[in-house]
């Protein structure tokens, strides 16, 4: 078993997740099978209950795990399919330890952070690593070295180094900040030195230091860090500002990161790996696009771009496939409720309404869906966006007064979106939230079929409410056609508007399965329709 721990120092937000993902991508390019684990030192069991303003989007896995968005980066960069066990939180660890204690499994001992909590952390890391079957598992330690809540995890990492063998089997990569100060533009290495000292105080000597700096660091700064932090010069790496996050693996490759790790960890010659040429071409298309389109993203968490991270990435993937830069304009749905849609949406080549929960901002989203439908602006609705498109259609085309979801008005006259259990005959066994990958059956001849090129696809879900079966026939007759359904046929998964260049919505979240060289088909459809829309307008 080989583990690479990636810790962070000085400040948070250094792009540790991107660095960890990029290292993984590089190792894969050498034929090494890689997996990844994210450690989050918070007491929540998982990210499912967290508001996106806390930690950004809640990423959903095939198995229904609601996890930290870094797992999305791992899946995108390394093209993995992870499970919820790849996100270890303090909450999960403590719960397990306390459950064991109640069952008497500690045989009367005093239960302590060391060894009981640290053993549980080690057990989880090693069991996930073993089950993944990977040659190397990258373990990203959330938080910053020195935080009180990270300490048990760092201690467990130190012990694993001792148990499995430092260097060959366990490598420590520490990411820090190298600020450039003053008019002379000198790189400052002191924060890195302090942070490494802190790490060494925990008994961990880093094998590699990756410094975030606006520029590539100078040989003098590199030598200084190497000397003070006691690592070889070739193990001091910098991650200068990149034009796109997808460029980071290439920047690391140029500095010999993969060679260093392969040599240190004695990762013998491997079979041919994943090709980097395709990746480089993909990056080339992002940084050197032929044209640009503007997509308005209408949501309620728009003050934090990370709330919609997977959508932004899916749009980047889709844009790259067509050689187009996608400029995303965030529109707060509350502003649309009171404001003029033409003013806020008039310059958009496409409109995207992503997922969301709760009543705030819903009427603004309905206004955006109406604007897109009436002005024939390309439109994609996802999850809540699908429900909004359905509500808007029922109100305006079917004339169903006050049509809405029972999520927003439990007593509405026209509950066109509701919880299935509420409908007689369709009982959803106890599931409070429908989570994870499920098959969607797509009708031949539909726009969705043209985009997916398949009649059965697996996509990820995270919702409670859905289209009320009682209204389906009326909606379809009037032109809101359900071209994607669940396997049993009772759940509506995709809606398409007839007589519109691109007006499509899905109950599932296609953004979670979008990959750099395999964009989400529905985002691809939106971007391509936006290109056509923009060309028509010129």
List the catalytic residues.
383, 509, 511
Query: CA 493, CA 448: separation in Å to the nearest integer?
Result: 11
What residues have CB less than 8 Å from 346, skipping those under 6 apart? none
**Residue with smallest beta-carbon separation from ligand GLN:** 355
* Cis ω before 115 (30° cut-off from 0): yes
Instruction: Name which of 371 and 465 has its Cβ closer to ligand GLN.
Output: 465
Identity of the residue, 212 or 462, whose beta carbon is nearer to ligand GLN in the bound complex: 462
Q: Which is nearer to ligand GLN, 224 or 513 (CB)?
A: 513
Nearest in space to 89 (alpha carbons), one of 43, 129, 157, 36: 43
CA distance linking residue 284 with residue 75, whole number of Å: 21
Residues 6+ apart with CB under 8 A from 185: 215
CB closer to ligand GLN out of 122 and 462: 462
Span near ligand GLN by CB under 6 A; candidates 172-180, 237-245, 287-295, 457-465? 457-465
* CB of 422 vs ligand GLN, minimal distance in Å: 13
Asked if residue 465 binds ligand GLN (CB under 6 A), the reply is yes
Q: Which of 459, 425, 465 is nearest to 442 (CA)?
A: 459
Which residue lies nearer to ligand GLN by CB, 272 or 432?
432
Q: Which x/- pattern over 349-388 shows residues binding ligand GLN (rule: CB under 6 A)? A: ------xxx-------------------------xx----
Residue 384: CB minimum distance to ligand GLN, A = 3
3-class secondary structure per residue, 66-86 = EECCHHHHHHHHHCCCCCHHH
Output the smallest distance, CB 144 to ligand GLN, in A: 31
Q: Which of 453, 470, 452 is nearest to 506 (CA)?
A: 452
x/- letters, 316..355, toward ligand GLN (CB under 6 A) = ---------------------------------------x
Q: SS3 for 481?
A: strand
By CB under 6 A, the count of residues binding ligand GLN is 10
Among 2, 25, 285, 464, binds ligand GLN (CB under 6 A): 464
Pick 65 or 356: Cβ nearer ligand GLN: 356
List of residues 6+ apart from 374 with CB closer than 8 A: none
Q: Is residue 407 at the binding interface for ligand GLN, with CB under 6 A as the rule?
A: yes
CA distance 454 to 287: 31
Q: Which two tokens stand for residue 364?
A: 């603004």
Q: Please, which of residues 159-188 interact with ligand GLN by CB under 6 A?
A: none
Tell the burial category of 278 from Cβ atoms under 10 Å away from its Cβ (0-12, 13-18, 19+): exposed
Question: Which range in 136-144, 327-335, 393-401, 460-468 contacts ligand GLN by CB under 6 A?
Answer: 460-468
Contact positions toward ligand GLN, by CB under 6 A?
A: 355-357, 383-384, 407, 462-465
């Amino acid at each position: 078993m080989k583990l690479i721990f990636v810790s962070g120092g000085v400040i948070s937000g250094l792009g540790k997740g991107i660095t960890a993902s990029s290292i993984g991508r590089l190792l894969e390019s050498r034929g090494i099978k890689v997996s990844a684990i994210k450690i989050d030192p918070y007491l929540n069991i998982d990210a499912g209950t967290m508001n996106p303003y806390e930690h950004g989007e809640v990423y959903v896995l095939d198995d229904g795990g609601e996890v930290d968005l870094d797992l999305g980066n791992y899946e995108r960069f390394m093209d993995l399919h992870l499970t919820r066990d790849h996100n270890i939180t303090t909450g999960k660890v403590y719960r397990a330890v306390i459950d064991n204690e109640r069952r008497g499994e500690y045989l009367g001992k005093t239960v302590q952070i060391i060894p009981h909590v640290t053993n549980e952390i080690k057990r989880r890391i090693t069991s996930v690593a073993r089950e993944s079957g990977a040659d190397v598992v990258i373990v990203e330690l959330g938080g910053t070295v020195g935080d009180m809540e990270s300490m048990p995890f760092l201690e467990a990492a130190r012990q694993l180094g001792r148990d499995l063998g430092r260097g060959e089997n366990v490598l420590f990569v520490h990411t820090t900040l190298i600020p450039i100060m003053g008019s002379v533009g000198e790189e400052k290495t002191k924060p890195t030195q302090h942070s490494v000292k802190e790490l060494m105080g925990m008994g961990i000597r880093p094998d590699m230091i990756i410094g975030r700096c606006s520029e590539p660091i100078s040989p003098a700064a590199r030598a200084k860090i190497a000397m003070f932090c006691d690592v070889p010069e070739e193990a001091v790496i910098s991650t200068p500002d990149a034009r796109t996050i997808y460029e980071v693996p290439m920047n690391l490759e140029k500095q010999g990161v993969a060679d260093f790790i392969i040599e240190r960890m004695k990762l013998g010659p491997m079979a041919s790996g994943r090709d980097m040429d395709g990746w480089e071409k993909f990056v080339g298309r992002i940084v050197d696009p032929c044209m640009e389109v503007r997509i308005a993203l209408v949501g309620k968490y728009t003050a934090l771009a990370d709330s919609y991270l997977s959508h932004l990435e899916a749009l980047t993937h889709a844009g790259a496939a067509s050689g187009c830069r996608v400029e995303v304009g965030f529109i707060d749905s509350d502003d649309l409720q009171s404001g003029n849609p033409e003013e806020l949406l008039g310059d958009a080549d496409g409109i995207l309404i992503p997922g969301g929960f709760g009543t705030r901002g819903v009427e603004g989203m309905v206004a955006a869906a109406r604007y897109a439908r009436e002005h024939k602006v390309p439109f994609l609705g996802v999850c809540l966006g699908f429900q909004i498109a359905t509500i808007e259609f029922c109100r305006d085309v079917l004339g169903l007064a006050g049509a809405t979801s029972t999520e927003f008005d439990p007593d509405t006259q026209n509950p066109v979106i509701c919880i299935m259990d509420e409908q007689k005959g369709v009982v959803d066994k106890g599931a409070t939230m429908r989570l994870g990958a499920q098959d969607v059956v797509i009708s031949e001849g539909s726009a969705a079929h043209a985009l997916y090129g398949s009649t059965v696809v697996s996509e990820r879900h995270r919702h409670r409410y859905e289209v009320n079966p009682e209204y389906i026939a009326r909606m379809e007759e009037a032109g809101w056609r359900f071209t994607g359904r669940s396997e049993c046929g009772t759940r509506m998964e995709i809606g398409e508007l007839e007589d519109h260049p691109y007006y499509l919505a899905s109950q599932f979240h296609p953004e979670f399965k979008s990959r750099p060289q395999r964009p989400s088909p529905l985002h691809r459809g939106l971007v391509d329709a936006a290109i056509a829309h923009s060309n028509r307008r010129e």
